[in-house]
Each structure stands twice: as structure tokens, then as C-alpha cells.
Amino acid sequence: MSNSNFAFSKKNYLLLGAGIALLIIGYLLMSGGGSDNPNEFYADQIFSSRRITLAPITVLTGYGTILYAILKKP
């Protein structure tokens, strides 16, 4: 069986896996910061630079990697 029968090559699958890993890391960076008491508000935890800059950039990079992996010809 030749490689031309497959939709993706090994490199496509590796890029797809890397993109999914970046998505998981980005969403994990966004999580947390909540309080057990709903009457307390910790702005420094909720609006930290990790949550409002690093995590969204990581998620967008993950989506971009997945899109590239899908569109790249094998």
C-alpha cells in the first residue's frame, strides 16, 4: 500500500498532535483562580497576565498548528 492512499502523512499527524497538546496546555493555563466563597473576588488571580495573554496566545497557536497540519499536503 502506498502513502498516496492516506489522507495525512506522519508529519501531518505529528503536527496535529502538537497542536492538540498546545490546546490542552493553553486551556490548563486559563483554568483556576476561582474562590470557594462566592462573596470574595481576587482580581489579581483572575486577571493575571498568564490568563489574559499567555493562555490565549497558546490556544491560538494550537489552532493555527492544527489548521496547518490539516491543510498541508502529505
Whether the predicted pLDDT of 3 surpasses 80 = no
SS3 call for 64: helix
pLDDT of 24 reads 98
Give backbone dihedrals phi and psi of 65, rounded to 5 degrees, phi first: -65, -40
How far is C-alpha 68 from the geometric centre of its chain's CA atoms?
A: 14
Q: What's the structural domain count of the chain?
A: 1
Which residue would you say has higher pLDDT here, 34 or 40?
40
pLDDT of 11 reads 95
Task: Kindly report whether the global pTM for this prediction surpasses the value 0.85.
Answer: no
Mean pLDDT of the chain: 89
Q: Which domain holds residue 41?
A: 3-71
